[in-house]
Chain A
Amino acid sequence: MTDQPTDRPEVRRPARRRPSRDAKLVVGLAVVGATVLFAIFGPMLTQDPRSSDNPVLVPPQPGHWLGTTSLGYDVLAQLAEGARGSLLVGVVAGLLAIVLSLVFGVVAGYARGATDEGLSLITNVMLVIPGLPLMIVVSSYLEVRSLWVVAIILGATAWPGAAVVLRLQARSLRSRDYVSAARVAGESTPRLLGMEILPNLLPLLTAQFLFAVVLSILGEAGLSYLGLGPNGSITWGTMLNEAQGGGALTRGAWWWFVPPGLMIAVLGCAMSLINFAIDEVIDPKLRQAPTAAKLQRKARKAGLDITSPAHDDDTPRPAPASRAPDPDDHKERVQA
């Protein structure tokens, strides 16, 4: 430690917060990348996931690294094939949701007036109609469901939350000086939306996209678990459905139902980590206040009285540093 007594928190802050945020981002990206690679190359390296010429319900062992199911399918092979199915559903549904939320959120927030009223009304209606029951009803009427159909059902119900967030942000961006300047300069509305508003929404859009992907993968798993997933395809959800039906729980076949859920859980956590990193970029208060408080506590422990005499061991103080760059900017975001 090269702690110098005269070091003020403000000076050291940038060096301190970087590693933490980058660590979240790196771990998240690494796990997501590994899962994508597994989905692309896994099925090429494992045996046929629909081949039942294996011994039945054997625990993990060489040759069957994750054991087999009660019908003699290799769990690892199914997991690799299921990764393709689940990721495909998640990404397609996520893209659809983000496109819809752009239309219903950004356009509404920018347009104002009657367009805003109409689009917001649709968003609000979709927001209060319970999503999962609606998905169950729609899926049960469709007797043939491909992966794509399931993805569309999920995407079409996953967008309202993102639309609300994007609308508020677009509204606040709309009244910024640089947007007004562009408007006065005579830029067309599509160009304003595409070149001025959208780039500033990018971090938020990315976060909402990742969130929609996680939500859709979870939603697919839930639907498939209930037997309403894609027919004929293998996903992590259909694996769980078969494990439940095949009595994996009562027969103690943990290698059958733990891996698919674990894959979903790990992938979901990785995407959340990326989202945390993005959140801290969007809202500077979230990263500055805790760091400042920590530094003050440290300094006090080291015997430096940087504020008034402490009446408690760690009374948190309103960190002066957190009032930093642009107070107006904060207020707007907190209200949004």
Chain B
Amino acid sequence: MRFYARRVGFYALTLWIAVSLNFLLPRLLPGDPYTILLARLQRSGDVSPAVQNSLRLLLGATEDQSLWQQYVSYWGNLLRGDLGVSVTQFPTPVTDLIAGALPWTIGLVGTATILSFVLGVGLGAWAGWRRGSWVDGVIPSTTLLQSLPYFWVALLFIYVFSVELRWFPIIGAYDVFTFNGPELSWAFVGSVLYHAVLPAVTIIISSVGAWMLGMRNMMVSTLSEDYVMTAQAKGLHTRRIALTYAVRNAAIPSVNGFGVALAFVVAGSLVTEQVFSYPGLGKLMIEAVRNNDYALMQGVFLMITLAVLAALLVMDLVHGLIDPRARHRD
């Protein structure tokens, strides 16, 4: 029980710190985001006093309230789900925009993360099993892929496959000329998959190396354990030694890492989304930054943090449930 209480406490504390950062940053750093934002807002139409007030709370314009009072009202607004309104798409509340973008990010980055994990752990286990052979010589070098600037790889892909060869579309998540919006039809699903190929391949290339090297190294370590030698001495079948004795134990750190990677899916590929103009959270946030749409920017940051923390908490609780050692260590 102590384990669960500690984990929940830790994430609650982190959430409180993240929200407070969100509250303090615009107030502590130089610049006057509220005035910039209000000036932009008034160009696009009338701004009601209620909206002005909510934005002032978000961005901390100088007012006769004390910092503490502002902080309390800020939390009040957050708990009511009021994150302000967007400037770029004027009367739309920030929460609606986030809700529209979230599924795209989760769909694309989530799928790519799962594929990358399966591919990386599979190849890593193979390389570790055949340690010292040519496979093992090739696999570690793929971790060099991690040092590539992933958005630059995306640019290269667009240049080669979209501009020169015209195999794939340059931007977007689906064909906007054929479909007015998301709909339920095979043609639409096909279009979505077709548009997701290049972004997904970019994400996989930049992350698969880490899985491979981690798994390969654990595999090498595990294979020199005494119990593997015992298994061989007993004359067990090679496949059984490889899968049940080696891979199963060597994969534990990778599986833990996979949980964390899944949790960071929403934060994962902001820049890649921007390169491909993929309508996820990353593009939403960067567009907000470009247009000084501070309320939207803060909303996305808060949402990303919240999602990451919630996912990590679930992972931790599940981990504690299935692995008693985790409960006792803490």
Which residues of A are in contact with B by a Cβ distance under 8 Å? 121, 124-125, 128-130, 132-134, 136-138, 140-143, 214, 218, 221-222, 225-228, 240, 244, 249-250, 252, 254, 257-258, 260-261, 264-265, 267-269, 271-273, 276, 283, 285-286, 289-295, 297, 311-312, 314-319, 322-323, 334
| Most chain A CB inside 10 Å of its own CB: which residue of B140, B292, B300 | B140
Q: Is B109 an interface residue, CB under 8 A from the partner?
A: no
B149 contacts A264, C-beta separation under 8 Å: yes
Q: Select which of A222, A226, A249 is within 8 A of B158 by beta carbon.
A: A249
Known: A137-B25, A138-B25, A290-B136. A240 touches B152 (CB 8 A): yes
The answer to the question of B290 belonging to the interface, with a C-beta cut-off of 8 Å to chain A, is: yes
CB-CB < 8 A to B152: which residues of A? 221, 240, 257, 260-261, 264-265
The 8 closest A-B pairs by CB, nearest first: A268-B147, A261-B152, A294-B132, A130-B267, A290-B132, A293-B132, A318-B229, A290-B131
Give which listed residue, A143, A249, A289, contacts B163 with CB less than 8 A: A249
Task: From the candidates A124, A134, A221, name the one contacting B149 in the complex (CB within 8 A).
Answer: A221
The residue in B18, B151, B152, B290 that gathers the most chain A C-beta atoms within 10 A of its C-beta is B152
Quote the shortest CB–CB distance from B165 to chain A (angstroms).
12
User: Are the CB atoms of B285 and A133 closer together than 8 Å?
Assistant: yes
B53 part of interface (Cβ distance < 8 Å): no
B143 near A: Cβ within 8 Å?
yes
Q: CB-CB < 8 A to A283: which residues of B?
A: 217
Given A133-B300, A261-B156, A285-B224, also A314-B17 (CB < 8 A): no
Mostly, the B contact residues are helix
Residue numbers in A under 8 Å from B136 (CB-CB): 290
Do A136 and B31 form a contact, CB below 8 Å, given A222-B271, A318-B223?
Answer: no
Please pick, from B131, B151, B292, B312, the residue contacting A289 in the complex, using a CB distance under 8 A. Answer: B131
Q: Does B90 contact A (CB under 8 A)?
A: no
Interface size class of B (residues with CB under 8 A): 35 or more
Any chain A CB within 8 A of the CB of B49? no
On whether the beta carbons of B149 and A261 are closer than 8 Å, the reply is: yes
Residues 260-310 (chain B) with a chain A CB within 8 angstroms: 264, 267, 270-271, 274, 285-286, 289-290, 292, 294, 297-298, 300-301, 304-305, 308-309
Are the C-beta atoms of A129 and B220 separated by less than 8 Å?
no
On whether A311 and B238 interact (CB within 8 A), knowing A142-B29, A272-B143, the answer reads yes
Assess the A286–B220 pair: CB atoms within 8 A.
yes
A125 close to B223 (CB less than 8 A): no
Measured in the bound complex, the distance between the Cα atoms of B312 and A315 in whole Å is: 39
Contacts A133-B301, A138-B25, A318-B232; is A226 near B308 (CB within 8 Å)?
Answer: no
A9 to B153, alpha carbons, bound, how many Å?
Answer: 43
Q: Which of B21, B130, B221 contacts A285 (CB 8 A)?
A: B221
| Cβ B147 vs Cβ A125 within 8 A | no
- Are B264 and A289 within 8 A (Cβ)? no
Contact A140 to B30, CB < 8 A, known contacts A265-B152, A271-B147, A289-B224:
no
